Structure 1
Amino acid sequence: MATTRLCIVTDIHHGKDNFTKKGTSALGLLNEFKGFVDRTKPDVVIDMGDRISDCDRETDMRLEQDVAEIFAGMNTPRFHICGNHDRDYLSVDENAAILGQDLSSTTVDIGDWTLVIWRADAKIHRPGGFILPEADLLWLAGVVRNTTRPLAIFSHVPVSGHSQAGNYYFQRNPEASTYPAGAERIRAILAGARVPVACFAGHVHWNTLTMVNGQPHFTLQSLTETFTTHPEPAGSYALLELSDRIDWTVLGKDSMRVSLDAAETARHWIEPLPPFHEHPEIRLRHLQQAAE
């Protein structure tokens, strides 16, 4: 099986320093990522969103342009995804104009894998938080239903439902870490896949691997986050190599390395038990014990 190589970065957060985000270091670190891309010569570059820390419309336009200019210097096909901070004051179309590419969800066949650039709505509604549009869910469902190739799915917002214990931003705000009313439905859709599946996301500013129904869900640390590497920014970005294995290497001060057999991700787990008191055998046993 041919190997497809991707360089991935997320949550660049160019702008002012804010809480533990070292936004003033973003452009320098992004240029380091560009150097890595130039040396690695991957098949694809993927930016999983939150290129800026939002301020106001005029400032955000300028910040996004700063980031876009560095990406434009990468002599590699690239795909951008909008994060919530890219969408506070700017529309998807405005982001697309700055980046010079359409920002609709799309699939790309490279090597033996299909890359799924799932650009689901990442705007935080106030009130409401993240709201997953039905159209975005149905689009992904169609991809999963019709594919005959392994899928690598990229989004800004993770859908694994993983614990936020210890997370600087989300331990006490877990509802803001995912699509509260949509992530479970997405996991159910992915469970129907008949091919290897791996999911990759940003947003939560740490490196994680969560296995759900045999499928790996990775999150990548922010380029400029400091809460795990304080006082310095993590400077993290990833190299993903897809073949008959899924090889995930995170570089920078917050590093991680994982290697998985791709075929095993298509071997789904047995459906979990219902609550014990609802399981017929367990309920009967308890009734019999109570009658003795």
Structure 2
Amino acid sequence: MLHVRGNHDVPDGPPENPVAETKAVAPARGPGAVKLGDVTFLVLNTSDPALGGVGGSVSTEQLRAFERLLDESTGPVVVLAHHPLDDHSIEGNPLFAPFPSWAFTREREALRSVIERSARVVAVFTGHVHWGSVRLVNTIPYVSVPSFLERWHESGAAPGAYAVATLGPGRRLRVDFRSLEAGMVVSFQHG
């Protein structure tokens, strides 16, 4: 199991270790690489530093290390990060529409350029904005996983929203967005 830490996971500063895994631990401050089967999971620390304690940023050193890890990887790669690397619409998002500069990773264009040059990235998964979305950027799916506890209204139970991703042969990807409260399933398939 992989756990990607975000801007709220370490109250006194950015996470020292962006990925915790039962068998391997990434170097401090990121990026980290974990190989599971033939898939390499590259984890970015997008709180390097956290802008205003909320917004995402990746240091120049981490960007270079990420590019090196992508160059050295073989087989399919999945990128994991807390802050989104795409530019999906946040219109209507009560948390981030008023503060768009805190919604995404500041260096997202440079990161996407590195990702696209590698030709091995199957998908990018992020969170932070508390809602689910999928955006194709130059044929690569950028998936924002919804918050399990976000209610969006002051009353009522948290919906228990989450996503299940399945990677298949030939770069096939299926993502099911689910909710415990409403029992909903919304699916996205690519490849």
**Equivalent residue number for residue 188 of structure 2:** 258
**Equivalent residue number for residue 15 of structure 2:** 92
SS in 1 for 2:8: helix
**Equivalent residue number for residue 176 of structure 1:** 102
* Structure with more of its chain in strand, by fraction: 2
How far did residue 119 of structure 1 move?
A: 3.0
Counterpart check, 1:249 vs 2:190? no
**Equivalent residue number for residue 158 of structure 1:** 84
Correspondent of 2:111 among 168, 178, 186: 186
For residues 253-281 of structure 1, what are the alpha-carbon distances to aligned partners after superposition, in whole Å with 9 as ceiling and x for unaligned?
A: 464311111xxxxxxxxxxxxxxxxxxxx
Counterpart check, 1:143 vs 2:103? no
How far did residue 210 of structure 1 move?
A: 0.7
Query: In structure 1, how many angstroms separate the alpha carbons of the residues matched to 2:136 and 2:104?
Result: 16
Counterpart check, 1:124 vs 2:62? no
Shift in alpha-carbon separation, 1:230–1:243, aligned structure 2, 3 A: farther
**Equivalent residue number for residue 62 of structure 1:** none
Which letter maps to 2:167? Answer: L
Query: In structure 2, how many angstroms separate the alpha carbons of the residues matched to 1:242 and 1:96?
Result: 20
Shift in alpha-carbon separation, 1:130–1:260, aligned structure 2, 3 A: closer
For residues 205-231 of structure 1, what are the alpha-carbon distances to aligned partners after superposition, in whole Å with 9 as ceiling and x for unaligned?
A: 001001111110000110100118963
The farther-off stretch of 205-214 and 251-260 is 251-260
Shift in alpha-carbon separation, 1:190–1:133, aligned structure 2, 3 A: same
Q: Looking at CA atoms only, which structure, 1 or 2, has the larger radius of gyration?
A: 1
Question: How many residues get paired?
Answer: 182
RMSD: 3.0
**Equivalent residue number for residue 199 of structure 1:** 124
| TM-score under structure 1 length normalisation | 0.55
Alpha-carbon contact 2:19-2:43 (below 8 Å) kept: no
Correspondent of 1:217 among 132, 142, 145: 142
Shift in alpha-carbon separation, 1:125–1:119, aligned structure 2, 3 A: closer
Alpha-carbon contact 2:56-2:83 (below 8 Å) kept: no
Alpha-carbon contact 1:236-1:250 (below 8 Å) kept: yes
SS in 1 for 2:175: strand
For residues 70-123 of structure 1, what are the alpha-carbon distances to aligned partners after superposition, in whole Å with 9 as ceiling and x for unaligned?
A: xxxxxxxx22222111233256359989x9974533222323322222234355
Structure 2, unpaired ranges of 5+: none
Alpha-carbon contact 2:7-2:53 (below 8 Å) kept: no
Which letter maps to 1:226? Answer: R
* Structure with more of its chain in helix, by fraction: 1
**Equivalent residue number for residue 79 of structure 1:** 2
State percent identity of aligned pairs: 23
| TM-score under structure 2 length normalisation | 0.81
The farther-off stretch of 244-253 and 221-230 is 221-230
Which letter maps to 1:247? Answer: R
For residues 46-66 of structure 1, what are the alpha-carbon distances to aligned partners after superposition, in whole Å with 9 as ceiling and x for unaligned?
A: xxxxxxxxxxxxxxxxxxxxx
Query: In structure 2, how many angstroms separate the alpha carbons of the residues matched to 1:191 and 1:229?
Result: 41
Shift in alpha-carbon separation, 1:174–1:257, aligned structure 2, 3 A: same
The farther-off stretch of 85-94 and 138-147 is 85-94
Query: In structure 1, how many angstroms separate the alpha carbons of the residues matched to 2:7 and 2:77?
Result: 24
Query: In structure 1, how many angstroms separate the alpha carbons of the residues matched to 2:157 and 2:46?
Result: 31
Q: Which has the higher contact order (CA 8 A, sep 6+)?
A: 1
